[in-house]
A and B are shown apart, each in its own frame.
Chain A
Amino acid sequence: MTVKVNGDEREVPEGETVRALVARFKLVPEKVAIELNRRLVRSSQYDATLSHGDELEIVTFVGGG
């Protein structure tokens, strides 16, 4: 199925969880924050499975003023 991650479409297996997606990109869950369809996903919900067409944002901190 296809999901959109940070603006780009990606193919992921059916039943992919948020946690598996984070691992796929070799990210540390504690160092990112995640939105699913414009709503914050808390760490306790990272085992939620994704659906075709879901849109995710995976963010972190960068330098800023």
Chain B
Amino acid sequence: MALDVFRIRDFEVRNRLFVGTGKYASYEVMQRALESSGCHVVTVAVRRERLVDKEGRSLLDYLDLNKYVILPNTAGCFSAEDAIRVSLLGRDLLEKQGNRGAGWVKLEVLGDKKTLLPDPVGTLEATRELVKEGFTVLCYTSDDPIAARRLKEAGAASVMPAGSPIGSGQGILNPLNISLCLETLKEGDPHYPVIVDAGVGTASDVSIAMELGADGVLLNTGIAHAKDPVKMAEAMKLALESGRLSYQAGRIPKKRYATASSPFEGVISYIPGE
């Protein structure tokens, strides 16, 4: 079953799973995993070109730029100023490549290297500046619903709360906060896109995020470091579809006691207590 169309401003995203390109054993494994995930958007990082010992292989040679929309990130930036510099460099590169991704950025302004948790103040400052620069800003943030609302008010095109720390594989640690983020961001604006970004360890984490009502999931390590990244990529794809369909179908409320699926009327057995 084809899932419903997903939009972030004027970007039409054909698959709700956003997949990172980092940490694969080889570019060939990455290519096969991306293919298997069914993703349309892939994230990349901006780094210094290696001027010596360059082995000649470049990520750009292994990504089909006619097929994928590239979403450059500002990973590794610890200040709004550096995140803005990196955003401008990423946009310039994608303009040269003629890729649709030139208009957007996955903003990360990190607080420290140990937790890789976002610096909320720096993220907010950078969002304001990048919006002024004309970027469609997709904001990595914590699962704090108030911070999420502030980022939306600052002009973020999508707010992307973390399920748990980047690369931790701990899944959705606080489903309540993710659902509060969704509630506040979508209040009176049901199509506002919210993507759960970071922390996914296994397929069920993706389903949980989608069942909560997220519009998409962004992940990298969960696929790249799986024993079989290509198979895990497919699992993530299926989990995303399951979660989305389940959300749309509407789950039953949780009850304290059992409700029989077979009728009691006509039973021939002794029922305790009756």
* Residues of chain A whose beta carbon lies under 8 Å from any beta carbon of chain B: 5-8, 25, 27, 29-33, 35, 38, 40, 42-43, 57-65
Q: Is the CB of B51 within 8 A of A61?
A: no
Q: Is the CB of B51 within 8 A of A64?
A: no
Residues of A within 8 A of B23 (CB): 63, 65
Residues of B within 8 A of A63 (CB): 20-24, 30, 44-45, 59
Q: Is the CB of B20 within 8 A of A38?
A: no
Residues of A within 8 A of B93 (CB): 31-33, 59-61
* Residues of chain B whose beta carbon lies under 8 Å from any beta carbon of chain A: 20-24, 30, 43-49, 51, 58-60, 70, 72-73, 75, 85, 88-90, 92-93, 96-97, 166-167, 198, 218-221
User: Nearest residue in B to A60 (C-beta to C-beta)?
Assistant: B49
A27, A35, A40, A63, most chain B CB atoms within 10 A:
A63
Q: Is the CB of B51 within 8 A of A58?
A: yes
List 20 A-B pairs, Cβ < 8 Å. A29-B96, A30-B97, A38-B85, A43-B92, A57-B48, A58-B49, A59-B48, A60-B47, A60-B58, A61-B93, A62-B47, A63-B23, A63-B24, A63-B44, A64-B22, A65-B21, A65-B23, A65-B73, A65-B166, A65-B198
Residues of B within 8 A of A60 (CB): 46-47, 49, 58-60, 93
Q: Is the CB of B49 within 8 A of A6?
A: yes
User: Nearest residue in A to B76 (C-beta to C-beta)?
Assistant: A64
Q: Is the CB of B49 within 8 A of A64?
A: no
Residues of A within 8 A of B46 (CB): 33, 59-62
Q: Is the CB of B51 within 8 A of A59?
A: no
7 shortest interchain CB distances as A-B pairs: A64-B45, A65-B220, A65-B20, A63-B22, A63-B21, A33-B89, A33-B92
User: Nearest residue in A to B81 (C-beta to C-beta)?
Assistant: A38
B43, B70, B166, most chain A CB atoms within 10 A:
B43
Known: A25-B51, A30-B97, A32-B93. Contact between A62 and B44, CB under 8 A? yes
Taken together as a complex, chains A and B put the C-alpha atoms of A35 and B85 apart, in Å, by 9
Taken together as a complex, chains A and B put the C-alpha atoms of A63 and B75 apart, in Å, by 11
CB distance from B189 to the nearest CB of A (A): 27
Taken together as a complex, chains A and B put the C-alpha atoms of A43 and B219 apart, in Å, by 33
Find B20's partner among A43, A57, A59, A64 (CB 8 Å cutoff).
A64
Q: Is the CB of A7 within 8 A of B30?
A: no
* Extra 13 A-B pairs, beta carbons < 8 Å, given A8-B51, A57-B48, A65-B23: A25-B49, A25-B51, A31-B60, A38-B85, A40-B85, A43-B96, A58-B48, A58-B49, A60-B46, A60-B47, A61-B47, A61-B72, A63-B24
Residues of B within 8 A of A30 (CB): 96-97
Residues of B within 8 A of A33 (CB): 46, 89-90, 92-93, 96
Taken together as a complex, chains A and B put the C-alpha atoms of A64 and B20 apart, in Å, by 6
Residues of A within 8 A of B220 (CB): 64-65
